[in-house]
Amino acid sequence: MTAAALAETPAVTLSDRAAKRVSRILSKEPTGTVLRISVAGGGCSGFQYEYNLVQETANEDDLVLQKGDATVLIDSLSLEFMGGAEIDFTDDLIGQAFQIKNPNAVASCGCGTSFAV
Tell me which fold the domain 3-116 belongs to.
Hypothetical Protein Aq_1857; Chain: A; (2.60.300)
Q: What is the DSSP string of 80-116?
A: HHHTT-EEEEEEETTEEEEEEE-TT-SEE-TTSSEEE
Q: What percent of the chain has pLDDT over 70?
A: 79
Q: What pTM value is reported for the model?
A: 0.83
63-67 sheet: strands from edge to edge: 63-67, 70-74, 33-41, 47-55, 114-116, 107-108
Q: What percent of the chain has pLDDT over 90?
A: 56
Phi first, then psi, for residue 43 (nearest 5°) are 75, 180
pLDDT category of residue 6 using cuts at 50, 70 and 90? very low
Domain ranges of the chain: 3-116
